[in-house]
Amino acid sequence: MSAVARRAAAHRGPAPARFEGAGAESESRYRQLVELSPDMILVHWQGEILYANPAAARLLAVPSVDDLVGRRIVEYLELLEGSLADQLADIYRRRPVQRALIDGFRRWDGEELELEVSSSPVSWNGTPAQQTLLRNVTRRRRDEQELRRRQEQLDLAVSGSRGGMWDIELDPENPMGGPLRTYISPQLKRLVGYEPDELPDDFAAWRSHVVLADLPRFNAVVGELLAGLRDEHELDYRHRGPDGRVRWLHTRGRLYRDEQGRPVRWIGIDWDITARQEAVEAVRRSEDKFTTLFRLSPAVLAVISLTDGELLEVNDGFLAHLGYHRGEVEGQTVGGLGLFENTEEWGRLAAETRRRGSFQDVEVRLRSRAGAPRVVRLSGERILLDRCECLIAAGHDISGQIAMEERLRHLAYFDPLTRLPNRAMCERHLTEALERNALSGRRVGVLFIDLDRFKMINDSLGHGAGDQLLAALAHRFSECLRPDDLLARFGGDEFVVVLEGLRDERDAAAVADRLLASLAEPVEIEDTAIHPSASVGVALCTPEAVASDLLRYADAAMYRAKGRGGAVFQLFDGRLDGEHMQRLHLENDLRRGLERGELELHYQPLVWLADGRTLGAEALVRWHHPERGLVLPGEFIPAAEECGLIGALGDWVLREATAQWSRWRVAGLVDESFRMSINLSARQLHDRRLVERIEEMLERYDLPAEQLQLEITENVLLQVPETCQALRDLGVRLALDDFGTGYASLAYLKELTVDMLKIDRSFIRDLVYDPTDLCLVRAIVALSRDLGLEVVAEGIETSQQAECVQEIGCLWGQGFLFDRPLTGRDFEQRRLLKAA
C-alpha cells in the first residue's frame, strides 16, 4: 500500500455501500444502488462471486454479470505479486479493507490492472459474505506517476534558481475540506531548511510555518483562489525554518479547475528571495533614515533642479529659516521665489556645481518670505534624480551668528553706556586717520577731555547719576562735532576727540572752545542741576608721532589744564623732554596697572626688640608691571603724587591693608597687641574725606582704631594739622615717618601730635661707626621716652645695629635683620610657624 493510499484511507469517510441484515427488500434496494455505481462491486464468499454489478462486468471484460456470478474471482483476476496475497487473504477472511491499492492484478485477458480495493463483510441472503469494491486506478496511477516525474523535473529545473515547487490536489467536491494530496518538493523543503523527510507533504504543516504577521495575506490568497476570485497568484511571505531562521519566499502559483469550475489542482513554485528582500529592506531603511534626516535636519536643505532652478524638495529647516509654507515652495523655482538676494548668485552656484560637481561653504544671502535677508553658509553637490541634474544643497543659517559677531564687535569697540566708540576703536581710528592725512598735508588733532570733579559727582549723587551725566555729555560733545570727527569714550570720565583735516592748532582750539562752551548750560539729572566742567588737552600730529604718542601728548596737555584749575583747554607745547616722557609713560602705565589689579601689598614686621616678637606690620605697596616686573614704590609713588593718582592708589592701599588685617584677625593670626601700619602721602591728607574713608574702613571690618597706625611725614604734620588731629580723634595712632630727614628739630618734638617716631634708616645705617649719629639717636630716644612717644629704629640690617639701638633704649625695630617686606601669604606662614 503506498503512502498516499494509506493516508487517503485513513482520512476518507466510511466504506462504500454496505448493508447488514437480510431481506428481499433490502437486497433489491441494494442492487438498485450498486447497479449504477461506476466502480466494480462484487459480493463473494470465499472467492465465489455471489453478485456482481454491471461495472464489474465492464472492468473484468466479460459480456454480462451473469458470466461472473457463481464463478471464482481468481478466474478473472490473477494476483501477480505474492506479497499482496495477504491482503486478499484479509479480504477473504472477512476483515474490512479500505481503499487498499493493489497494483498487481492481471485480468483474464492479460491486461494488468491497478485496483483500489475496499472490502467489508456483509450478510448475503442470510449467509455471511464479503462485499468488495474495486476501482480501476490504473489510469490514475499512471497519470500520477507521470505527474510525479514531471514534478521532479520541474523541481530540478527551478532548483537552480533557489526555487522549489509544490502541487496540491483538491477535492472538487469539497475544495475547502483540505487538499486530497499535497506534494512539497524536496528542493522546496531544503530551501526552507528541512531535509526532505523532516517536513511532511502537508499543506497545513507548511502553513503552520508561515510567519504570523504574513499569515493573513497568505490565507487571503488561498481564500480568493478557492472562492474562484482568481486563478493565479503571486505572494511574498516569510517562512520560518526549523532553525528558527526566517526566509522570504516569493510564491507563484496557479489553480486549475475542472469543467464545472471546481478547483482540482493548485500548483506553484516558491523562490527564496531572502537576500533580495533583505537588500530591499536595507535600502528602504537607509532611505527612511535619509528621508527622516533630510526632513528633520535643522539645517537648510534643498534639492534644486540645475536645469530650471525648480525647488524639487526642501526640508523643514528650509521652511523654518526662510518662513515659507511647504505649499508655497514646491514646484516653484529659485528665481520665481526670489530666493537669492542677488539672482546672479544662483547662476554662479549652479554653474559651479555643473562644472566641478560640488561647492563648499559659500556664504550666500537669501531672502526670507517676508523679504528679510538671511545669510546662509551653503555647501552643495550635484546629483542625478531620474536622469535630471540636480543640486542637493545644505546650508546653515548664520544670520544669528553674524548678528552676534556684530554685537560682539560692538562690545569690543563701543562703550555700552554712551554708545560711543571705545578706546580700542579710537586708537584704531586714529592710526588710520594719521595714515590718511599723512599724504594730504592736513593734520590730525586729538582732544583729550577729562571732566573736573567727576568723582565728587559720582560719590555724592551716586553712580546712576554719574552715568546719566556721562551719557548727556557724550551727546552734547557729539553735537559740537562734524560727522567725520570721532568722539570716543576712553573710560571713566575721559573722552577723546579725533579731528582730521586741520590746518593748524587754531582749528583744534576752536573745537576745544566749542566743547567747553557746550558745558555752560547745567545738566539736569534727577532734579539736580549739575554744572559740569572739563579740562581739555589738545595735541596735533607731528610727522613722527604715532597714535599712542598723540594720545599721550593730549593727555599730558589735559593735566596741565587741570593744573590750571580745570575748565580750560591747553595746547600741548611739544616740549616734553626724555624725563617728562618717561614720567608720562609711567603715569599711563600706573593708571592702567591700578585698573588691572597689578598692585600688591607686602608687609614688613614691626618687632618688639626685647624678645623679637612681631607686634605689627607696615604695609608697603608693590607694582607688578607687565613688562618691567616688580617695581618698588620709590619709583612710582612720587609720580602718583604728582599726577594725582595717589588718591586712588592710597584708597586702594587702605582698603587692601584693612581687609588683610581683618582676615588675619578672623583667622586668629594677630591679636590686640598687633598694629597695622599704613603709609599716607601728603596729597592724601589734603583730601578732606580721608578721615571719613578711614572711619568707614574701620567700621566695615570692625577693626579697633587704636591698632591702626598711619605713617606720615613731618611736612604733612605741618601742612594739615587739622586732618592729623581729626585722625587722632578717631583713635587712630600716628607715626612720624623718616624722622630726622626733615625740618623737625628736637625742639619741635613736644609740639608734634603723634604717637610714634620712626627714626630714618640713614641714621641707623651708620650708627655703629658714626658717633654723631649715635649721639643724635640717643637724644631722640631719650626725649621721646620723656614725652611718652614710642620710637622705632628703621632699617636694622645687622645684629650690631639691633644691639646698639636697644642699648640706647629704643624698644621697637624694623629691618631686613628681622624680615624683609613679605607677601601676605608669607607673613601668615611666618605667624603660623611662630605660633607652632
| Least distance CB 772 / ligand C2E (angstroms) | 20
Q: Which of 102, 815, 827, 831 binds ligand C2E (CB under 6 A)?
A: 815
**Which does residue 795 touch among ligand C2E, Ca ion, none (CB within 5 to 8 A, set by kind)?**
ligand C2E
Q: Which residues make up the interface to Ca ion (CB under 5 A)? A: 679, 711, 737-738
| Least distance CB 639 / ligand C2E (angstroms) | 12
- Grid cell in block for residue 514: 566749542
**Which does residue 653 touch among Ca ion, ligand C2E, none (CB within 5 to 8 A, set by kind)?**
ligand C2E
**Quick one: which of 592, 676, 671, 678 has its CA closest to 636?**
592
CB nearer ligand C2E, residue 92 or residue 818: 818
CA dihedral 535, 540, 545, 546 (to 10 degrees): 70
| Least distance CB 663 / ligand C2E (angstroms) | 18
Q: Does 604 help bind ligand C2E (rule: CB under 6 A)?
A: yes
Q: Which of 204, 227, 372, 632 binds ligand C2E (CB under 6 A)?
A: 632
Collapse the DSSP code of 821 into the 3-class scheme (helix H, G, I; strand E, B; otherwise coil) and give the result: coil
Residue found by looking up cell 576745544 in the block:
512
Collapse the DSSP code of 406 into the 3-class scheme (helix H, G, I; strand E, B; otherwise coil) and give the result: helix
CB nearer Ca ion, residue 376 or residue 617: 617
**Quick one: which of 802, 774, 765 has its CA closest to 610?**
802
Q: Which of 504, 816, 829, 834 binds ligand C2E (CB under 6 A)?
A: 816
Query: Going by C-beta distance under 8 Å and a sequence separation of 6 or more, which residues neighbour residue 689?
Result: none
Q: In this structure, which long-range contacts are made by residues 183-190, counting pairs with CB atoms below 8 Å and at least 24 apart in sequence? A: 183/148, 183/151, 185/151, 185/152, 185/154, 185/155, 186/155, 187/155, 187/156, 187/158, 187/159, 187/163, 188/155, 188/163, 188/164, 188/270, 189/164, 190/164
Q: Does 656 help bind ligand C2E (rule: CB under 6 A)?
A: no
Q: Does 677 help bind ligand C2E (rule: CB under 6 A)?
A: no
What is the C-alpha to C-alpha distance for residues 253 and 517, in angstroms, rounded to an integer?
107
What is the C-alpha to C-alpha distance for residues 193 and 94, in angstroms, rounded to an integer?
46
Q: Does 634 help bind ligand C2E (rule: CB under 6 A)?
A: yes
Residue found by looking up cell 526670507 in the block:
368
**Which does residue 621 touch among ligand C2E, Ca ion, none (CB within 5 to 8 A, set by kind)?**
ligand C2E
Q: Does 199 help bind ligand C2E (rule: CB under 6 A)?
A: no
**Which does residue 314 touch among Ca ion, ligand C2E, none (CB within 5 to 8 A, set by kind)?**
none
Checking DSSP bridges between strand 675-679 and strand 708-712, what pairing results, if any? parallel
What is the C-alpha to C-alpha distance for residues 433 and 445, in angstroms, rounded to an integer?
10
What is the C-alpha to C-alpha distance for residues 105 and 61, in angstroms, rounded to an integer?
14
**Which does residue 821 touch among Ca ion, ligand C2E, none (CB within 5 to 8 A, set by kind)?**
ligand C2E
CB nearer ligand C2E, residue 539 or residue 620: 620
**Which does residue 637 touch among ligand C2E, Ca ion, none (CB within 5 to 8 A, set by kind)?**
ligand C2E
CB nearer ligand C2E, residue 616 or residue 815: 815
CB nearer Ca ion, residue 98 or residue 679: 679
CB nearer Ca ion, residue 662 or residue 681: 681
What is the C-alpha to C-alpha distance for residues 113 and 109, in angstroms, rounded to an integer?
11
CB nearer ligand C2E, residue 30 or residue 623: 623
| Least distance CB 453 / ligand C2E (angstroms) | 23
465 by Cβ neighbours in 10 Å (0-12 / 13-18 / 19+) ranks as middle
CB nearer ligand C2E, residue 133 or residue 734: 734
What is the C-alpha to C-alpha distance for residues 500 and 504, in angstroms, rounded to an integer?
11
Minimal CB distance to ligand C2E: which residue? 815
200: amino acid identity, one letter: P
Q: Which of 681, 707, 723, 784 binds ligand C2E (CB under 6 A)?
A: 681
Q: How many residues does the chain have?
A: 836
Q: Does 630 help bind ligand C2E (rule: CB under 6 A)?
A: no
| Least distance CB 653 / ligand C2E (angstroms) | 4
**Which does residue 815 touch among ligand C2E, Ca ion, none (CB within 5 to 8 A, set by kind)?**
ligand C2E
What is the C-alpha to C-alpha distance for residues 376 and 351, in angstroms, rounded to an integer?
19
- Show contacts with ligand C2E in window 732-761 (CB under 6 A): 737-738, 761
Query: Going by C-beta distance under 8 Å and a sequence separation of 6 or more, which residues neighbour residue 754?
Result: 712, 717, 724, 734, 735, 736, 789
Question: Pattern of binders to ligand C2E over 761-790, x per CB under 6 A?
Answer: x-----------------------------
| Least distance CB 715 / Ca ion (angstroms) | 14
Query: Going by C-beta distance under 8 Å and a sequence separation of 6 or more, which residues neighbour residue 136?
Result: 40, 59, 113, 114, 115
Stretch that binds ligand C2E, among 13-21, 318-326, 658-666, 675-683 (CB under 6 A): 675-683
| Least distance CB 686 / ligand C2E (angstroms) | 13
Given a contact cutoff of 8 angstroms between Cβ atoms, the answer to whether 735 and 792 are in contact is yes
Stretch that binds ligand C2E, among 151-159, 234-242, 355-363, 811-819 (CB under 6 A): 811-819
| Least distance CB 711 / Ca ion (angstroms) | 4
Cβ atoms < 10 Å from Cβ of 469 = 21
CB nearer Ca ion, residue 265 or residue 602: 602
- Grid cell in block for residue 155: 523541481
| Least distance CB 459 / ligand C2E (angstroms) | 21
Query: In Å, what is the CA distance from 233 to each residue of 118, 166, 211?
Result: 38, 14, 19
Buried b (16+ CB within 10 A) or exposed e, 24-62: eeeeeebeeebeebebbbbbbbeeebbbbbbbbbebbeb
CB nearer Ca ion, residue 418 or residue 681: 681
Would you list the DSSP string of 47-112? TEEEEE-HHHHHHTT-S-GGGTTTSBHHHHEEE--GGGHHHHHHHHTT--EEEEEEEEEEETTS-E
Q: Does 352 help bind ligand C2E (rule: CB under 6 A)?
A: no
Question: Which helix (H) or strand (E) element contains residue 539?
Answer: strand 534-540
Stretch that binds ligand C2E, among 382-390, 535-543, 549-557, 678-686 (CB under 6 A): 678-686
16: amino acid identity, one letter: P
Total residues contacting ligand C2E (rule CB under 6 A)? Answer: 24
- Grid cell in block for residue 562: 587741570
- Grid cell in block for residue 371: 523679504
Q: Which of 117, 680, 735, 774 binds ligand C2E (CB under 6 A)?
A: 680
| Least distance CB 538 / ligand C2E (angstroms) | 32
- Grid cell in block for residue 429: 581710528
| Least distance CB 738 / ligand C2E (angstroms) | 6
CB nearer ligand C2E, residue 496 or residue 621: 621
CB nearer ligand C2E, residue 456 or residue 632: 632
- Show contacts with ligand C2E in window 685-724 (CB under 6 A): 711
Q: Does 679 help bind ligand C2E (rule: CB under 6 A)?
A: yes
Stretch that binds ligand C2E, among 1-9, 398-406, 810-818, 827-835 (CB under 6 A): 810-818
Cβ atoms < 10 Å from Cβ of 63 = 8
Q: Does 633 help bind ligand C2E (rule: CB under 6 A)?
A: yes
Collapse the DSSP code of 440 into the 3-class scheme (helix H, G, I; strand E, B; otherwise coil) and give the result: helix
CB nearer ligand C2E, residue 303 or residue 621: 621
CB nearer ligand C2E, residue 186 or residue 650: 650
| Least distance CB 752 / ligand C2E (angstroms) | 17
**Which does residue 274 touch among ligand C2E, Ca ion, none (CB within 5 to 8 A, set by kind)?**
none
CB nearer ligand C2E, residue 159 or residue 806: 806
Task: Note the residues at the interface with ligand C2E (CB under 6 A).
Answer: 604, 619-621, 632-634, 637, 650, 653, 679-681, 711, 737-738, 761, 795-797, 814-816, 821
